[in-house]
Every structure is written in C-alpha cells, then in structure tokens.
Chain A
Amino acid sequence: MLSSLMAAVGSESTIVPDEMRLTADGKELMYQLLWRSVLILVLIFAIFPVWMMFTTSFKTRDEVLQLGLDILPADPYVQNYFLMFQRFPLVDYYVNSLVISSVTTVLSLLIGGLAAYSLSRYEFPGKEKFEMGALATQMIPGVLILIPMFLLFIVMDQSANIPMKDTYHGMIFLYTTFTVPFTIWMLRGYFDTIPTALEEAARIDGCTRTQALFRVVMPLAAPGLAATGMFVFLLAFNEVLFASVLATDNVTPFSIGIQNFQQQDQTMWGQMMAASTLAAVPLLAIFVVFQRQIVSGLTSGSVKQ
C-alpha cells in the first residue's frame, strides 16, 4: 500500500514544475505556521468570553448597547463597581456563597479524604460496591432528587421542627454530599502516589492508624487537597439547580442572585459583568498559583502513567 502511495506522490511531482514545489524546509515552515495559528485561534476562543466580561464591566450602559468590537473600552467607567451594590444585596450574595462554598469545601475534603484514603490503602468487604455506588451518584440527574429533597426538607421542618430549606446548614449538607464522590475520585489518585513506607515507619514508631493518617499522610497530600479543594469550591459556587429552589430569601447565593441583574425590560450588563469579574478574579488567581497541582490532580484519576 505504501509503495502505491509513493508512486502517487511521485507522479504528482512530475506534474508540478520544479520551481513551484515546496522544499522540505518550506513544508516544515508551512506546518509550523499551521499549528501555531491553530493554537493562537484556540487561545483566542478560550479567553474571549472572559475578556468580554472584563471589558464590559468598564462600559457605560450606552457603550454596552453600541455595536462594535472594542478590545479596550476607550474611557473606563469604574462606576459599575460601585453602582452594582446599590440595587441588590450583592454583598449578602457574595457572603452567602462564600460561607456555603467554603464550609462545603472543608467538610468535603475531610469526609471524602478519609474515604479516598481508605480506598487507596485498605481492603474491606463491600469495597467495590462502595466505589461503584460513588460513581453511580454521578449519573443521577439533579432533578430526580430535587423534588424528593424538597419534600424531605418540608417534612423535616414540619414534623421534626428542624429548618432545612433556606438555611446555611441545609445547603452545606447537600453540597458536601454532592461533592464527596468527586473528592474521593480525585484524592484517591493522589493518595496512590504517596508511598506507604512513610506510614509504616510511623506505625512502627508507635503511631496509631489515625495518627499516621493525620500527622503523616494528610500533610503530604496538601497539594492534592488544595487542587481538589478548588474544584469542590467551584462546584458548590456554580450550583444553580438546588439553589434556585432550596436556597432563597436570606441565603440566596451569588449564582442565583446575580441573575437579578437581568430583568424583564432591561439588563444591567455593565454592573452584572462587574459583579462577575469580582467573583471570578479571586478564583482565577488561586488557579494560577496552584495550577501545577490542579493539572496533575485532574489527570491522575484516569491516565495511568
């Protein structure tokens, strides 16, 4: 097959005159140009919406409604960053999201971390079933458990007198459970990379299993915990389905509250994008700092090196 291919290429070279044929160097140059421009296009595609968010946050209402593609706003309109706080209790939205997402992150890392460590190191009856179960939770459509959860929350409130709907602890409890399977999945890969010899040494020196876990393994897993923690935080921060039904009134998180900028008759895009930028910047900063851990944490789960 290869020889017929060579023949085809050979016959073509007789048709094209010598001067017009690319030299090997020329071909290499074309190839370099091709993949470099592809890469640049992909980079533009990746950053474009985030850039639009950033620039729009410095535009006045009129500028937002104008056509055109300003790369930079000619005259930055900083007012958006002050006006946005006047219309809605935006500070409350930020605080609610921060409280719910941070506590969720800590609890999820603790509970998921223990389970991940157990899966990575110990054998016990039902281990495979537990793993499959954790994986299966990822296939449950949120709407399937949303309606029963709504019902359970009402029942707990009315029969047991424990308020769950519209409370911090209710949302934290839900989000912690939603993120635990993900935490297990990511941290398990990370724990697998930590040699067991260290714990064994600690055990010989008289540590209990619990001490070996908290004093030796957890500190070593800190980078993995940081990377996983960022994704758990993002998952909790981004949740809209359960929040839209179960977290209203005083605990409205940012993900629901920000949609208030969009109203029947008009949308305050400038202010909305200012609020968005303020939410995105800290998370992007954390990502840039921890990106090595985040990338290795993401890939360790399913690529066996």
Chain B
Amino acid sequence: MLLSAYQRVKRRLPAVHIPYVSSLPASQRFGLKLIAPALAMMLLVHGIPVILGFVMSFYEFPSLRYTDWFRPETFVGLDHFAKVFQKDTIYGAQFWNSLKVTILYTVGSVIGTYVLGLVTALTLDKQFRGKLVARTVILIPYVTPVVVTLLTWRMMFRSDTGVINALLRQAGLIEGSLFWLLGPNSLYAIIIANVWRNFPYAAIMLYAGLQSVPEQLYEAAEIDGAGRWGKLRYVTLPQLKPVSAVILLLLILWTFINFPVPYILLGGSPSESGNVLMLLIYSFGFKQSAYGIGSALSAMLFLFSMTIAYVYYKRVVASSYDGGAI
C-alpha cells in the first residue's frame, strides 16, 4: 500500500537530473538513492555540529544570546586550548586530573570487561544442562535499560545501608563503611558498574568466536601432547585474536566517551577521582557557562578517540584479520 502510494507520487514528479549521478548505471544510482536519507541525516546531525563544535572552540561566548556569538571581537584563536594545557590555571588543573581519571577508568574497565568476558565465554563453551538459561541470564545486564540498572548500582553503593558494604562486612573484608560514590573510591564504583554492564557483550562475542575455532586444531594439539592449559594457550587464545581485537576497540571507545555511567552514578559534580572528561566538559558547558573551553575540550577528545581508533585499527585489527585463521 505504502509502496503503491510512493509510486503514484513518483510518477507525477518530474525526473530529476543530477549531472554526475545521472550518468551512472541504474544499479549504482539505486544504491546511492538508498543511502541518501541516512547520509543527509548524518551530515545534518553529526557533520554540521562537529564542524560548528570545532569553530566554537576558537570563540568566546559573552552571553547566552546566540546573536552575540561568532563575532570577530569574540575570536580568541587557540586561547582555550592553551588555557587547558597549562597546569596552573583552574581549567588546566581540572583537565589534567580528568585526563588521568579517564585513562584509568578506560584501562580498568576494558581489562575487567575483557577478562570477565573471556572467563564467561570459556565456561559457556562447555557442555552442560541449562546452557540456554545461563546464556540468557548472562545477557541480562546488557539488555536491561541502563538508566534503571545504574540507579540500582547507585543504591547498592550507598555507604551506610548499601548492600555492597553489607556484603563486604559480612565477608570480614572491611569494618565500618566505605564511601563508594564520594572520594577516591568513586573511580572503582564507575569501573565496577561499567564492567557489569559490558561484560555480557564481550562474553557473547568471544563465545561466538570460540564456536568457530576448527576442531582439528584441538585434535592436533592433543596429539602433540598439549593439556588443557596448552590448548588454551596455543590454540584458543591465538584463534580468538581477530574477534578480541574488535571487542577491545569497541570497549575502549565505548568507555572513553561513556557518559551515562559516571553521570548517573556520581551526578553532575563528582569527586576528583571520578571526574572523567565527559563529566568535566558537561559541567563546563552547562554549569559554568564556559562553552568555549567545553568545545575545545570535546574537540580534543574527538581527535583523540579518532586517533586511537585509527592507529588501533591499522595496527591490530587489520593485521590480525590478515594473519588469523578466520
């Protein structure tokens, strides 16, 4: 029905001739037509704002009235970038701290997520009853709305009556109460919540990777006298290299520019040890009205994550796909 309506409308419209596109073969034109809406939207919502964001980082914004923005006298050049890099300014001190926190947060989360995901995938790969149930349960953190689960983590991390402190006390690991969402532990809190949220993804991807390891390799290793550890070390792990490369890249990017986890757990103005770059920029932009500094920082964050992704892709993903058996 929709289709025939579309065709009726199309027949009435005059044929459009775009100089270069019209000369292409019909199949190529059709391919281009199909991506056109997606391309147009991405240019509008990603393209223009990204360029605008970079431009904004060179300007100072004197007021909230947009007509006052982008005038020649408000052009400050690279001032914002210089301010951010100087450790003795108020912005610089916060930036360097946040950069350190963000890197720790990313490294901690990615290692935790990957290791837990790998262990889960290896146990899921065994034969046992109720495997489907186990797989379903493991994916629950990944498919429950993250706002909801993060608020639950916030509740569990409470210092006085939180269940995590109660568990630790029961186990005899701590006396009294730990502050999880305030002070130096806030970094661990966001790492734990982030690992919980993402490990199912790593587990399911690695599990799929394990299924595609050819059985002959294990047989060959067995003939060569490899035990369980040997098979894991010399067959499984190397075979998982390509899929691991993809997972690690995605995890790094997801964590590096992750906003909901720190924002919902720690709120808009966190302790120093949990003040990741995304929260810092958010507070510059929407609490301290330092749009220029905020834009400069986010432009840097974008370039940084693009660089990580590019270098990583060239070095690891591309090479392991060439060399891997998959």
A49 CA / B145 CA spacing, docked (Å): 12
Taking a contact as CB atoms under 8 Å apart, the answer to whether A255 and B147 are in contact is: yes
Do A46 and B306 form a contact, CB below 8 Å, given A122-B28, A295-B139?
no
Taking a contact as CB atoms under 8 Å apart, the answer to whether A144 and B208 are in contact is: no
Taking a contact as CB atoms under 8 Å apart, the answer to whether A143 and B153 are in contact is: no
Tell me which residues across on chain B come within 8 A of A158, comparing CB atoms. Answer: 66
Tell me which residues across on chain B come within 8 A of A234, comparing CB atoms. Answer: 143, 145-146
A238 CA / B281 CA spacing, docked (Å): 20
B104 within 8 A of A: no
Interface 1/0 per residue, B190-223 and A, CB below 8 Å: 0000001001110011001101100000000000
Which A43-99 residues sit within 8 Å CB-CB of chain B?
Answer: 43, 45-47, 49-50, 52-53, 56, 64-69
Taking a contact as CB atoms under 8 Å apart, the answer to whether B3 and A214 are in contact is: yes
Q: How far is the CB of A71 from chain B (nearest CB, A)?
A: 11
Q: How far is the CB of A65 from chain B (nearest CB, A)?
A: 5
Contact for A121 among B31, B45, B145, CB less than 8 A = B31
Q: How far is the CB of B297 from chain A (nearest CB, A)?
A: 8
A118 within 8 A of B: yes
Q: How far is the CB of A104 from chain B (nearest CB, A)?
A: 12
Tell me which residues across on chain B come within 8 A of A180, comparing CB atoms. Answer: 38, 41-42
A245 CA / B283 CA spacing, docked (Å): 12
A229 within 8 A of B: no
Chain B residue with the shortest CB-CB distance to A31: B228
Taking a contact as CB atoms under 8 Å apart, the answer to whether A145 and B49 are in contact is: yes
Tell me which residues across on chain B come within 8 A of A133, comparing CB atoms. Answer: 42
A189 CA / B301 CA spacing, docked (Å): 30
Taking a contact as CB atoms under 8 Å apart, the answer to whether A299 and B259 are in contact is: no
Tell me which residues across on chain B come within 8 A of A64, comparing CB atoms. Answer: 161
Interface 1/0 per residue, B112-135 and A, CB below 8 Å: 000010011011101010000011
Contact for B149 among A31, A42, A50, A127, CB less than 8 A = A50
Taking a contact as CB atoms under 8 Å apart, the answer to whether A118 and B31 are in contact is: yes
Taking a contact as CB atoms under 8 Å apart, the answer to whether B149 and A53 are in contact is: yes
Tell me which residues across on chain B come within 8 A of A124, comparing CB atoms. Answer: 24, 28-29, 31-32, 35
B316 within 8 A of A: no
Taking a contact as CB atoms under 8 Å apart, the answer to whether B134 and A43 are in contact is: yes
Interface 1/0 per residue, A222-233 and B, CB below 8 Å: 000000001000
Taking a contact as CB atoms under 8 Å apart, the answer to whether B48 and A53 are in contact is: no
A123 within 8 A of B: yes
Contact for A139 among B34, B56, B120, B257, CB less than 8 A = B257
Chain A residue with the shortest CB-CB distance to B132: A291
Tell me which residues across on chain A come within 8 A of B253, comparing CB atoms. Answer: 138-139
Contact for B294 among A49, A53, A143, A303, CB less than 8 A = A143
B282 within 8 A of A: yes
A286 CA / B247 CA spacing, docked (Å): 25
Chain A residue with the shortest CB-CB distance to B55: A148
Q: How far is the CB of B31 from chain A (nearest CB, A)?
A: 3
Contact for B196 among A45, A141, A259, CB less than 8 A = A45
Contact for A49 among B141, B257, B295, CB less than 8 A = B141
Tell me which residues across on chain B come within 8 A of A255, comparing CB atoms. Answer: 145, 147
A93 CA / B306 CA spacing, docked (Å): 36
A202 within 8 A of B: no
Interface 1/0 per residue, B286-326 and A, CB below 8 Å: 10000100110011011001100100000000000000001
Taking a contact as CB atoms under 8 Å apart, the answer to whether A134 and B42 are in contact is: yes
Tell me which residues across on chain A come within 8 A of B39, comparing CB atoms. Answer: 115, 130
Chain B residue with the shortest CB-CB distance to A54: B152
B151 within 8 A of A: yes
A288 within 8 A of B: yes
Tell me which residues across on chain B come within 8 A of A210, comparing CB atoms. Answer: 3, 6-7
**Residue from B30, B45, B228, B263 with most neighbouring chain A CB atoms (10 Å):** B45
A158 CA / B66 CA spacing, docked (Å): 10
Taking a contact as CB atoms under 8 Å apart, the answer to whether A46 and B151 are in contact is: no
Tell me which residues across on chain A come within 8 A of B124, comparing CB atoms. Answer: 39
Taking a contact as CB atoms under 8 Å apart, the answer to whether B212 and A305 are in contact is: yes
A106 within 8 A of B: no
Contact for B161 among A67, A111, A259, CB less than 8 A = A67
Do A145 and B204 form a contact, CB below 8 Å, given A35-B126, A114-B35, A121-B31?
no
Since A42-B138, A147-B294, A259-B151 are in contact, a sample of 17 more A-B pairs with Cβ atoms closer than 8 Å, ordered by chain A residue number, is A46-B137, A47-B140, A68-B166, A114-B34, A124-B35, A139-B305, A140-B302, A141-B302, A151-B52, A151-B56, A155-B66, A180-B41, A241-B259, A259-B264, A280-B144, A298-B205, A305-B212
Chain A residues packing against B (C-beta within 8 Å): 2, 31, 35-36, 38-39, 42-43, 45-47, 49-50, 52-53, 56, 64-69, 111-112, 114-115, 117-119, 121-125, 127, 130, 133-134, 136-149, 151-152, 154-155, 158, 173-174, 176-178, 180-181, 184, 209-211, 214-215, 230, 234, 237-238, 240-241, 245, 254-255, 258-259, 262, 267, 269, 272-273, 276, 279-280, 283-284, 287-288, 291, 294-295, 298-299, 302-305
List 20 A–B pairs whose Cβ atoms lie within 8 Å, in order of A's numbering.
Answer: A39-B120, A50-B140, A53-B148, A56-B152, A111-B38, A124-B28, A140-B50, A141-B281, A142-B257, A143-B259, A143-B285, A143-B301, A145-B49, A154-B66, A178-B45, A240-B147, A259-B264, A279-B145, A283-B143, A295-B135
Across the A-B interface, the 5 shortest Cβ-Cβ residue pairs: A122-B31, A118-B34, A144-B298, A145-B49, A148-B52
